[in-house]
Amino acid sequence: MQKMFVAAALVSALTAGAAAAAPAAYEDPLDARTLSTIRSRFSELMELANRHDLKALHGLFWQSPSVLLVAKSAVASEGNWAGFWGNDAVDRKLHDIAASGPVVLTPDLSRLKVVGLTPDVAESFAPMNITVSYAGQDGTPKPFLMIIEWIKVADDWKVASEIILPVPPAPATKHGE
């Protein structure tokens, strides 16, 4: 009898502890209007990139030595993909990409996700196809993922980091799998 009481007490304590440790429901620190504003900024970023409007693109980025663009590199010593830190490096990289020929970013806006991380920082994610002939790319549309960290500066949302990742091809499968 005493063993059953101890077992019941232990189960009760563990259950209560688990309930107390359960995380509260997530609540985004940004309201729907702010998230909508960031979605609009994302669309604006895509439009400006497709138009090669480098001056306007510069204005969408956070003016900081900590701004980051991760993109295809044309310089072997940087590796195939690299991080470009600071506005001068980001501006040069965007100029080089735009000068390489047509660039078309086609995001899947139905899959665009924007979440607040803090009241002043948000993150967006969108799969997209990018058509570009920069740094040995052949100009055919290829799948990429774009991850952007947004930072609130005064009353405006700026790109703090833009990470463009190529989606590798699916592995070959054997017949019958």
Q: Do residues 159 and 150 touch, judged by C-beta distance below 8 A? A: yes
Q: Enter the tokens of residue 60.
A: 């969408």
Q: Measure the CA–CA gap between 102 and 139, rounded to whole angstroms.
A: 8
Q: Which amino acid is at 171?
A: P
Q: Measure the CA–CA gap between 112 and 110, rounded to whole angstroms.
A: 6
Q: Which of 94, 51, 75 is nearest to 135 (CA)?
A: 75
Domains and CATH numbers, the chain: 32-164 (3.10.450.50)
pLDDT of residue 4: 43
Q: Measure the CA–CA gap between 20 and 33, rounded to whole angstroms.
A: 33
Over the stretch 140-174, which tens digit does the pLDDT of each residue have?
A: 889 999 999 999 999 999 999 999 999 988 888 87
Over the stretch 8-52, which tens digit does the pLDDT of each residue have?
A: 443 344 444 544 555 678 789 999 999 999 999 999 999 999 999
Global pTM reads 0.80
